[in-house]
Each structure stands twice: as C-alpha cells, then as structure tokens.
C-alpha cells in the first residue's frame, strides 16, 4: 500500500520553515532574508537557475516543469488551455504566496518562534502562505517524472502585499506572461478550519484612501464668532460623509466610507487653524468607486465652505477589486469539495471589503482567490493583524492537498482524485496522463471527519489570552487586511 506523502516528517519540515520565517519577519520590499530562504529551498528542489527570476526587488518567480512525455492541450479533459505566450504551448498554472510581514510589534507572549525583530511581525499569516507554496512545490517537484513536459507550475513569491504592493511591479516585469490560470489564498481566522470559502465575482474590494485638511482661522476659544472654526467644520464633514453610501451609491452596490483618523488642536482654550482627517473607501465595483471619488471632495469642500473654512482633499486609488473568474471559482469549488468535503466550500461571509493586490495577477489571467478557514473551537482564533495572531499550522495539510489536486485538475491530468469527486474512473482521453498522486498517497479530507490518516496536529502554543475571536459562523465579521 502506498504511503501518504503528507507525513509527520513532511509537515514537521514545512512547519519548521514557516516558524523560521515567522521569527525573522520583514516588511514590504525589505524581504531580503525571506527571499534568500525561499531561493535556498528552491535550489534543493532542483530548479535550474534559468527557471528562477528575481522580480520587484525581493520577489521571486520560479517554474517547475515536468519531464514526462507532453500531452498537448488535453482535448476532452477539463484542464486549462495554454495561454498566449506560453513556452512550447505549455499549460502554465500560477500559484501566488505573499511574503511580507506587518510593521507592528508581535505580542504572542512565550511563542518560541515569535518575531525576533521589533517593529516587524507576521500578523497576517503570510508565513503560512509561503509554507503552503513550498509544500506544494515539493510535492510537484518530487513527481516531475510523471508531470508532462508541457505542464508548468509557476510560483509567484510576492513582496509587499500589505503595501505599497508587489503584485503590480511583478506583472509589469512579466511574471504573468504565458500563465493560463492563477490561484492564491488567504488564511482566515473567522472561517472554520477545514473550509475553503469561495465566491465567484468580486471577492475583495477596491481600496481608495483619502486625506483631508480643513483650513480655518484659529484664535481664542472664548471668541469663536471672530474665527472660522475648523474643528466644527471637520466634524460636519465627517457627519456629511456618512450620507455618501446611503444616498449616492446604489443600494445593491456594496461600499464603505470610513473616517479613521482626526487630528486638530493642542490646548483647550485655543481653536486651531487646521484640522486633518483621513480614511478609506472600499467598493466592489468601479462604478461605486467613481461615484464616491467624485462625491467625497464635493461634499467636503461645500461643508467646509458653509462654515467659513476651506478644504484640501486628496484621494489615492490603491488595489483594484479582486475579481474571481466564475469558471476558475468553479474549479476551486469542485476541488475543495473533493479534497475537503462536499460541504466544505461555501461562499458565506464573502465578498470581503478588505483589499488584496492578488487582483493585479487575476486581471492578467482567469484566477480565483480562496479563503481557508483556520478557526477551531479549542484555539485562540485571533483575527489577522492582531498582535496576538499566529498562523494555524493545522491548515497546511489541507491547503497543500487542495492546491496539489487543483494543479492536477487544471493541468488536465485525467483520473485526478479531485476531478471526479474522489472516484477512480480514469479518463480514456488519448494522450492523457494520470494524476501525480494516487488517492492513497494524497488522501482526501472528505468523509473522514476532516481528519485523514496523514493529518498531523502540531501542539497549540500555550496562551492565557482572553480576547478570543467570537462567533465562528455565518454571522462572523470578516475583516479585510489591507
Ligand atoms: Zn494578508
Ligand atoms: Zn494583512
């Protein structure tokens, strides 16, 4: 009987990599050590230098090619078609992992692998995303001899997701050339472990940040009638902005306008000359985005003027809407149901109003961004960006199994356990190849209470925190992270 490949030793090694990265976090475009650690791992997989490209400073694009006989475009199979510009008409499927940590200080207490670098911390779990991609790469590389030579795994190791954004420069440098389909994921602490939450269409929001300066005429707080009070004007502006979503954006078009900072004044008896405030706009359509981008400055300027003040407004459009291609989302749902369980690929809780620059990749080729749940009943499920957060390593066997099966599915490797819902009916398509791993070697989590024989549970770190995330369920508030 074949041995499951996701063994304790395999997971131990992936988790060790994850925790090592976690202990040495680096923020956007400073991921030098992280990049070096990934390159060292890629070397051990036997990837030639010619298939490794450094992009966007610290990012890496690396390809794993098969060495088995080519199978052409796998006519009759459900696999992806080669994209324009693909070398030798190969079907190139890209998987993306973000690399950066947040510029914040970790507060996980006695976690042995806690950040050793004050002011940098993997509080969004990108360390886990990298560990997943390494795990998938190891499984694919180990079966190069069964992978047709016209099938390619492209790894997109991307810096600076938390800002200013590494995806756009990587696309500009050619990371997506020849890619047929692209996939990625985020771990999500309000969704249950074992779930892959997937939605077709908009999955995450367009982000536009804004800064406002309200200028008035300051002076003694006892004589406001001879002044132009920017504190009062800014206050009215903040209230006025609450009417944009409710009165200007069509009700079926989701949008958020949040004012999240406000600063002004130094002393109780002085009205200042200037008040500043800033915030963020989130939308799921370009229509809503442009309505708000037009309305916000108009409303602020008019409101400030009504109080004898003037205003300067600046808007910065950041990440675009992350749009999941309906067909790509369907592939993910099919594979998730086969690998995780028939009820493990819901769409509740989505879309999210957070931002993600994966949208730059999925604008270049059909793609889907999946949210893997990490919440467990007996674990502290701290939300992303909490200083107490740590990636849940127990998600890794699931994500690695999912993405390996997804690759087989999209490469059109007939008989893939994922493609036929776990059955074994091998396709009779001429020239087709079989899956890289049999059902015994890479067991499904489906129908086994979510715990296949090869699942391995690293010990949960001890913690006395009390601010655990509430409500793991369909009403859970899912926050975006950008
Ligand atoms: Zn993140
Ligand atoms: Zn984040």
Distance, CA 311 to ligand 2 centroid (Å)? 32
**According to the model, what pLDDT value does residue 457 have?**
58
The CATH number for 122's domain is 3.40.630.10
The sign one gets for the Cα dihedral 61, 167, 364, 139 is: positive
**285 is in which domain, residue-wise?**
206-317
Distance, CA 163 to ligand 1 centroid (Å)? 10
Same domain, 292 and 177: no
Distance, CA 126 to ligand 2 centroid (Å)? 8
Tell me which of 270, 301, 317 is where a domain ends: 317
**According to the model, what pLDDT value does residue 396 have?**
96
Q: Respond yes or no: is residue 286 known to be catalytic.
A: no
For residues 18 and 74, what is the distance between their CA atoms, to the nearest angstrom? Answer: 36
- Residue 398 in tokens: 């699931």
The CATH number for 236's domain is 3.30.70.360
Ligand nearest to the backbone CA of 127: 1
Phi, psi of 405 (to 5 degrees): -70, -35
Is 214 a domain residue? yes
DSSP alpha helix (H) spans, 208-283: 230-248
Ligand nearest to the backbone CA of 98: 1
Distance, CA 355 to ligand 1 centroid (Å)? 9
Ligand nearest to the backbone CA of 162: 2
Non-local (6+) Cβ contacts of 189 within 8 A are: 374, 375, 381, 382, 383, 384, 389, 392, 469
Distance, CA 287 to ligand 2 centroid (Å)? 26
Is 103 a domain residue? yes
Q: H or E element: which one contains 136?
A: helix 126-142
Gap between the terminal Cα atoms of the chain: 46
Q: How many domains does the chain have?
A: 2
Cβ pair 335, 368 in contact under 8 A: no
Non-local (6+) Cβ contacts of 103 within 8 A are: 27, 119, 120, 162
For residues 262 and 381, what is the distance between their CA atoms, to the nearest angstrom? Answer: 31
Long-range pairs of 222-225 with CB within 8 A, sequence gap ≥ 24: 222/269, 224/271
Say if pTM beats, i.e. exceeds, 0.85.
yes
**According to the model, what pLDDT value does residue 238 have?**
98
Is 244 a domain residue? yes
**According to the model, what pLDDT value does residue 76 have?**
53
Q: Respond yes or no: is residue 98 known to be catalytic.
A: no
Same domain, 176 and 213: no
Phi, psi of 12 (to 5 degrees): -50, -45
Distance, CA 366 to ligand 1 centroid (Å)? 21
User: In the Cβ-directed half-sphere of 114, how many Cα atoms lie within 13 Å?
Assistant: 16
Ligand nearest to the backbone CA of 126: 1
Same domain, 62 and 188: yes
Q: H or E element: which one contains 17?
A: helix 8-23
DSSP-derived letter for residue 243 is H
DSSP-derived letter for residue 228 is B
Q: Which regions of the chain are under pLDDT 50?
A: 417, 419-431, 459-481
Cβ pair 30, 479 in contact under 8 A: no
Ligand nearest to the backbone CA of 102: 2
Of 97, 82, 85, the C-alpha closest to 156 is 97
DSSP-derived letter for residue 393 is G
**According to the model, what pLDDT value does residue 109 have?**
86
**According to the model, what pLDDT value does residue 476 have?**
34
Is 471 a domain residue? no
Q: H or E element: which one contains 405?
A: helix 396-410
Ligand nearest to the backbone CA of 383: 2
User: What residues are paired with 208 via a beta bridge?
Assistant: 281, 317
Is 454 a domain residue? no
Q: Which residue has tokens 């070398």? A: 87
CA 369 to chain centre: 7
Is 417 a domain residue? no
Same domain, 33 and 180: yes
Other beta carbons within 10 Å of 444: 20
Cβ pair 195, 344 in contact under 8 A: yes
Same domain, 71 and 132: yes
Distance, CA 97 to ligand 2 centroid (Å)? 13
Tell me which of 359, 393, 410 is where a domain ends: 410
Task: Supply the DSSP string of 332-346, one letter for each residue.
Answer: HHHHHHHHH-TTS--
Distance, CA 206 to ligand 1 centroid (Å)? 15
Same domain, 168 and 55: yes
Same domain, 43 and 185: yes
Same domain, 288 and 355: no
Peptide bond into 164 cis (omega under 30): yes
Same domain, 85 and 171: yes
Convert the pLDDT of each residue in 9-41 to its tens digit. Answer: 999 999 999 999 999 999 999 999 999 999 999
Same domain, 357 and 303: no
Same domain, 32 and 165: yes
Tell me which of 281, 296, 317 is where a domain ends: 317
Catalytic: which of 31, 63, 98, 161?
161
Distance, CA 224 to ligand 1 centroid (Å)? 47
Distance, CA 162 to ligand 2 centroid (Å)? 6
Distance, CA 87 to ligand 1 centroid (Å)? 32
**According to the model, what pLDDT value does residue 2 have?**
81
Non-local (6+) Cβ contacts of 42 within 8 A are: 52, 60, 62, 137, 155
The sign one gets for the Cα dihedral 388, 389, 390, 394 is: positive
For residues 307 and 214, what is the distance between their CA atoms, to the nearest angstrom? Answer: 10
Same domain, 172 and 196: yes
* SS3 at position 172: helix
Is 19 a domain residue? yes
Longest dimension (CA), the chain: 89
Catalytic: which of 31, 63, 100, 357?
100
Is 460 a domain residue? no
Backbone region of residue 88 per phi and psi (left: phi > 0; alpha: psi in -120 to 50; beta: other values): left
């Amino acid at each position: 009987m074949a041995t499951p490949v996701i063994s304790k030793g395999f997971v131990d090694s992936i988790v060790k990599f994850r925790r090592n990265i976690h202990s040495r976090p680096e923020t956007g475009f400073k991921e030098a050590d992280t990049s070096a650690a990934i390159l060292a791992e890629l070397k051990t997989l036997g990837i030639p230098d010619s298939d490794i490209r450094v992009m966007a400073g610290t990012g890496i694009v690396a390809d794993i090619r098969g060495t088995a006989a080519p199978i052409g475009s796998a006519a009759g199979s459900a696999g992806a078609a080669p994209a324009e510009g693909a070398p030798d008409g190969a079907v190139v499927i890209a998987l993306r992992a973000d690399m950066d940590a947040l510029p914040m200080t970790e507060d996980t207490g006695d976690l042995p692998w806690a950040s050793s670098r004050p002011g940098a911390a993997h509080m969004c779990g990108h360390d886990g995303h990298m560990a997943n991609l390494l795990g998938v790469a190891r499984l694919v590389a180990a079966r190069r001899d069964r992978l047709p030579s016209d099938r390619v795994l492209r790894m997109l190791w991307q810096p600076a997701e938390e800002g200013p954004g590494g995806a756009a420069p990587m696309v500009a440098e050619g990371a997506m050339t020849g890619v047929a389909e692209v996939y990625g994921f985020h771990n999500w602490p309000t969704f249950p472990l074992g779930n892959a939450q997937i939605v077709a269409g908009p999955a995450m929001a367009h982000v536009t940040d804004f800064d406002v300066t309200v200028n008035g005429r300051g002076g003694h707080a006892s004589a406001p009638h001879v002044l132009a009070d920017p504190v009062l004007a800014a206050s009215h502006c903040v209230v006025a902005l609450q009417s944009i979503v409710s009165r200007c954006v069509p009700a079926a078009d989701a949008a958020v306008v949040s004012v999240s900072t406000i600063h002004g004044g130094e002393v109780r008896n002085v009205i200042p000359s200037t008040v500043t405030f800033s915030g963020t706009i989130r939308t799921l359509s370009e229509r809503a985005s442009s309505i708000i981008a037009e309305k916000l400055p108009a409303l602020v300027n008019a409101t400030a003027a009504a109080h004898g003040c003037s205003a300067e407004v600046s808007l910065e459009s950041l990440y675009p809407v992350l749009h999941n291609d309906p067909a790509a989302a369907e592939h993910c749902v099919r594979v998730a149901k086969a690998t995780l369980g028939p009820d493990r690929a819901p769409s509740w809780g989505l879309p999210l109003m957070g931002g993600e620059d994966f949208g730059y990749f999925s604008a270049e080729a059909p793609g889907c961004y999946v949210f893997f749940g990490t919440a467990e009943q007996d674990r502290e499920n701290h939300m992303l960006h909490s200083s107490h957060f740590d990636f849940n390593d127990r998600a890794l066997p699931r994500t690695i199994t999912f993405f390996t099966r997804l690759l087989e599915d999209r490469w059109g490797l007939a008989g893939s356990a994922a493609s036929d819902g776990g059955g074994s009916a091998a396709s009779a398509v001429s020239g087709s190849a079989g899956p890289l791993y049999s059902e015994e070697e890479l067991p499904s989590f489906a129908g086994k209470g979510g715990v296949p024989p090869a699942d391995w549970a690293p010990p949960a770190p001890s913690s006395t925190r009390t601010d655990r995330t509430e409500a793991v369920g369909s009403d859970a508030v899912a926050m975006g992270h950008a």
